[in-house]
Structure 1
Amino acid sequence: MAEEERNKAAARSFLSCATEVARLMDLGNAADIPETRRARHLAHAVRRPLLERAHLPEEFFAPLMAAAVYDPDPSFCLWFVEPAVYAFGRRQVMTALLDYLRNGTDAEQAGAERAWYCAHVPLRADRSPAYAPGGSRDPAMDESRDLRDKWRETLRRSAMCPGRLET
């Protein structure tokens, strides 16, 4: 597949993911926005409402992770990763990204690597109402040392056997 075709397919995938997150937020599909700008428009529209919610239903998790992984711009995948980290915890987010790294397509593996960096976002009680009233949260939600080790091991194995990212 030519590079241009891959880019078009990736843009359609990201649009699909962003549309699903917007649908879950009841924000519509922005059909009046040109398709070339629609995904970024939807991502921008969901960013603040996602962070403003203290809790997100579990049904949001997979679409947020997919949108983060398929977002072609490493500067913006944070818009999906950060609310997921606050709502579901760094551990659950990193586990999902590790799964994409191990089992995903080449494009998903690259997206997981971009999103992994964002999963280390500093957590601040003033940034999200996902914290308890006293500004605390269960530390187990964010324990990720073992996952960072697994991530490095998976990358090491992939360097030794290109094309194979399994455990």
Structure 2
Amino acid sequence: MVDGEHIEPTARDFLSCVTEVAHLMDLGTASGVPQERRARHLAHAVRKPLLERGNLPEEFFRPLLAAAVYDPDPSFCLWFVEPAVYTFGRRRVMTELLNYLQTGTDAEQAGAKRAWYCAHVPLRADRSPAYAPSGLRDPALDESHDVVAEWRETLQGSAM
């Protein structure tokens, strides 16, 4: 692949993304599941354990966002965005999605738009152990007004 060249995402790309997340969680590859159902099977397998973790290591960030962007079903990209928002903060998640919007392939840009909607998930202390026992979290993790403004500017610029 030449620098700067993008390959259009396919269902296989989503499978590789969700397989990476499952691997990071030591959940295996679901090799016994038929190929056409394997990606969704793995997505189901990682969903609950991701939300149950109070903290995710740094190496989860990019694979979670890639899985969200490459997920072909807009109903399910939340499964990857939500734990990323809880652990890494709304600001960082939105900044990564903005990067996909600005530099990604057409398919990545479409996936970023789907995931952007999910990045606005309401945060609740009872939903994730990522909150401190007091039910509080650093507000800087979720401050995103400037990122939202840049997102809108990027969309307006691309519409011209």
Shared fold (TM-score, shorter chain, > 0.5)? yes
> Residues 36-115 of structure 1: matches in 2 within 5 Å?
36-115=36-115
Matched, 1:120 2:124: no
Give, in whole Å, the separation in 2 of the partners of 1:59 and 1:28.
17
Partner Cα distance (1:84, 1:67) in 2: 11
Q: TM-score if structure 1 supplies the norm length?
A: 0.90
d(CA) in 2 for partners of 1:108 and 1:144?
21
CA distance in 1, matches of 2:42, 2:93: 21
Name the counterpart of 2:154: 154
Determine the C-alpha separation between the residues in 2 that align with 1:34 and 1:109. 29
SS of equivalent to 1:37: helix
Higher relative contact order (CA 8 A, sep 6+): 2
Mark the runs of 5 or more structure 1 residues left unpaired by the alignment. Answer: 1-5, 161-167
Say yes or no: does 1:34 pair with 2:34. yes
Q: What is the percent sequence identity of the aligned residues? A: 77
Cα shift at 1:10: 1.2
Structure 1 residue 101 displacement after superposition: 0.2
Letter in structure 1 aligned against 2:28: G
SS of 1:29 mapped into structure 2: coil
- Indicate the SS of the match to 1:47: helix
Match of 1:3 in 2: none
Tell me if 1:21 matches 2:21. yes
CA distance in 2, matches of 1:103, 1:112: 11
Distance 1:127 1:91 in 2: 19
**What is the CA-CA distance between 1:24 and the residue it aligns to?**
0.1
Q: After TM superposition, what 4+ stretches of structure 1 lie above 6 angstroms from structure 2?
A: none
- The alignment's TM-score, normalised by the length of structure 2, stands at 0.94
Q: Which residue of 1 aligns with 2:4?
A: none
Structure 2: which 5+ runs fail to align?
1-6
Distance 1:47 1:66 in 2: 15
Alignment-derived partner of residue 3 in structure 2: none
RMSD (Å) for aligned C-alpha atoms: 1.2
Letter in 1 for 2:30: A
